[in-house]
Amino acid sequence: MNNRKATLLKYGCSVLAIIALVKLDYSEQIRTTEAGLKIIGNAEGCVRQPYKCPADVLTYGIGTAETSGEKIIQGKVYSDEEIAKSWVKNIKIAEQCVNRYANGKQLPQGAFEAATSLTFNVGCSAVKNSTLFRYARQGDIQAMCNQFPRWVYSGGKVLRGLEIRRQQEKARCLVS
């Protein structure tokens, strides 16, 4: 069993429980709905105790990484409330990027959520000048949605988990 799987089994938390907390306590702070949260949360997974992700970055909760500027305490077991709060903060950062660089306020809900999920995953600097965001700015939603399958590489390799996530993002994008 790999380290991530062992960590999930020992310190995993429920993505659905965190989504419920976000909807209850933070829904007015973000535009992303439950459908978008499920794509992000299910792809990222939820872990209470910090671990090193495949990119060797200290991470906890639902994709909260030390690169997000948050001080992560190694060995700490984070509560659902702490995980929800940090996740909302990081979703807001991704949404702000989509609004600024992809004309997010004008995007249909599904396209906005798909772009937010991608941005949450790869970071604003990776997508802000992308073809996907260019199509979004132009209002060509179909062309934008067709770009998601291109974002499946990590370290020069196609990752099955990214293929699945991008298929879900593309499907959400097309709901627009």
Q: How far apart are CA 16 and CA 87, in angstroms?
A: 13
Q: What are the residue boundaries of the structural domains of the chain, listed by start?
A: 3-174
Strand partners, 60: 64
Token look-up 């990484």 returns 65
Tell me, what's the pLDDT at 3?
60
Q: How far apart are CA 66 and CA 76, in angstroms?
A: 14
Numbers of helices and strands, H then E, in the chain: 9, 5
Residues 30-36 have a mean pLDDT of 98
3-state SS class at 64:
strand
One-letter amino acid identity for 103?
A: N
Residues 123-147 have a mean pLDDT of 97
Given pLDDT bands bounded at 50, 70 and 90, which one contains residue 154? confident
Which among 44, 95, 113, 169 is annotated as catalytic?
Answer: 44
- Phi first, then psi: give them for residue 5, nearest 5 degrees: -65, -40
Token look-up 């062992």 returns 6
Tell me, what's the pLDDT at 146?
98
Given pLDDT bands bounded at 50, 70 and 90, which one contains residue 69? confident
Given pLDDT bands bounded at 50, 70 and 90, which one contains residue 53? confident
Predicted structure pTM score? 0.91
Residue 7 has pLDDT above 70, yes or no: no
**In the annotation, is 53 catalytic?**
yes
Residues 68-93 have a mean pLDDT of 93
Residues 55-65 have a mean pLDDT of 89
Token look-up 């020992």 returns 10
**In the annotation, is 44 catalytic?**
yes
Residue 10 has pLDDT above 90, yes or no: no
Residue 157's alpha-carbon distances to 29, 45, 124, 137, 154, in angstroms, are: 36, 21, 21, 29, 5
Residues 76-95 have a mean pLDDT of 96
Q: Was domain 3-174 assigned CATH 1.10.530.40?
A: yes
Which among 13, 46, 53, 173 is annotated as catalytic?
Answer: 53
Question: Above pLDDT 90, what percent of the chain?
Answer: 83
- Given a contact cutoff of 8 angstroms between Cβ atoms, the answer to whether 52 and 45 are in contact is no
